[in-house]
């Protein structure tokens, strides 16, 4: 027999050990590999870094689209069925397979009704939010009143509405136009637990918002003669704490009423802001930081980057 096939010699125990060691090592390696495979199969996949992410990874095309990936439905809320605000329309994703959603209330401006902001409801809802476009108690309500009404509508959404089971009540935001934009700032100051605020061409006699703790995107319009940016949106933005996640977007050549009709620039940055802070979805950070440059649609953009939230 050759040396490779002959049994170990009996010249001493040390030699027997040394000649068996390769076989033992091989067996141990096979066992270790088997255990590794078993462990890999038995161990569940790690949870997503952010359990609040909703929808596919965003692209420029997806945030500019008029509709997102979620099918939506609507329900009308009569002003007679609520207190503290004037009713409205709820837009919501029809499926909760992905989980619950953050919720956004949107207030109209002076003399306007919810219809003036209706275009934004399904646009945001189809991206994975429950959205409530509200009517105010009267069309002449001032910003402080509109702020209270925004908060009342969020309370209704999360506590009484027919879609309350679809909502994560810890993830709420507010949006508003004109006096509704001023109301958005009022709501943010009153309720620091909100996750995001977006005043659109906001109007408010109060210019200092140094106590606001809610991440805020201020949207102004370059040609606004009702709430000129020099006396409204820019002071609003600059008065917000420097430590706050905040941004100022100015729409090039736009009037005060730009938010009252479908506007891709408003939609894409409002969506990105809400996703980033209501859903804590850092996949949308790329659209906010680095700070966007000026363009055919943006005359000015300022912000704090990178974001802390």
Positions marked catalytic: 178, 224, 256
**Closest among 101, 100, 63 to 283, alpha carbons compared:** 63
How many CA atoms are closer than 13 Å to the CA of 97, on its beta-carbon side? 6
User: Exposed, middle or buried, 297 (CB in 10 Å: 0-12/13-18/19+)?
Assistant: middle
Residue 51: C-alpha distances to residues 76, 98, 99, 168, 214 (Å): 30, 10, 9, 12, 21
Q: Beta 129-134 vs 72-77: how paired, if at all?
A: unpaired
Report the distance separating Cα 109 and Cα 35, nearest Å.
Answer: 65
**CB atoms closer than 10 angstroms to residue 160:** 11
Cis peptide leading into residue 72 (ω within 30°): no
- Sign of the CA dihedral 104, 144, 245, 248? positive
CB 217 within 8 A of CB 193: no
CB 240 within 8 A of CB 209: yes
Q: Look at residue 45 and give its three-state secondary structure.
A: coil
């Amino acid at each position: 027999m050759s040396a490779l096939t002959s049994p170990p010699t009996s010249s001493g125990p040390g030699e027997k050990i040394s000649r068996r060691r390769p076989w033992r090592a091989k067996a141990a390696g096979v066992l270790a590999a088997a255990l590794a495979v078993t462990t890999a199969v038995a161990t569940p996949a790690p949870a997503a870094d952010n359990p609040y992410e909703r929808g596919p990874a965003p692209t420029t095309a997806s945030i500019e689209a008029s509709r997102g990936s979620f099918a939506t439905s609507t329900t009308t809320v009569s002003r007679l069925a609520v207190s503290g605000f004037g009713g409205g329309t709820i837009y919501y994703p029809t499926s909760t397979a992905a989980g619950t959603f953050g919720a956004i209330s949107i207030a109209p401006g002076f003399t306007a009704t919810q219809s003036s902001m209706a275009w934004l409801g399904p646009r945001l809802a189809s991206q994975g939010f429950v959205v409530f476009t509200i009517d105010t108690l009267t069309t002449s309500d001032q910003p402080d009143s509109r702020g209270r009404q925004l908060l009342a509508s969020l309370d209704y959404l999360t506590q009484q509405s027919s879609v309350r089971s679809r909502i994560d009540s810890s993830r709420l935001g507010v949006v508003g136009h004109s006096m509704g934009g001023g109301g958005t700032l009022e709501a943010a100051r009153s309720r620091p637990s909100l996750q995001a605020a977006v005043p659109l061409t906001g109007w408010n006699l109060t210019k200092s918002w140094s106590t606001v703790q809610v991440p805020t995107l201020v949207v102004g319009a370059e040609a606004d003669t009702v709430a000129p940016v020099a006396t409204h949106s820019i002071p609003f933005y600059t008065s917000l704490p420097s430590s706050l996640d905040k941004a100022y977007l100015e729409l090039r050549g736009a009037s005060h009423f730009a938010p009252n009709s479908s506007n891709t620039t408003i939609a894409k940055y409002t969506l990105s802001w809400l996703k980033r802070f209501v859903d804590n979805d850092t996949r949308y950070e790329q659209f906010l930081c680095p700070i966007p440059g000026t363009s055919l649609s943006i005359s000015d953009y300022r912000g704090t980057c990178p974001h802390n939230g």
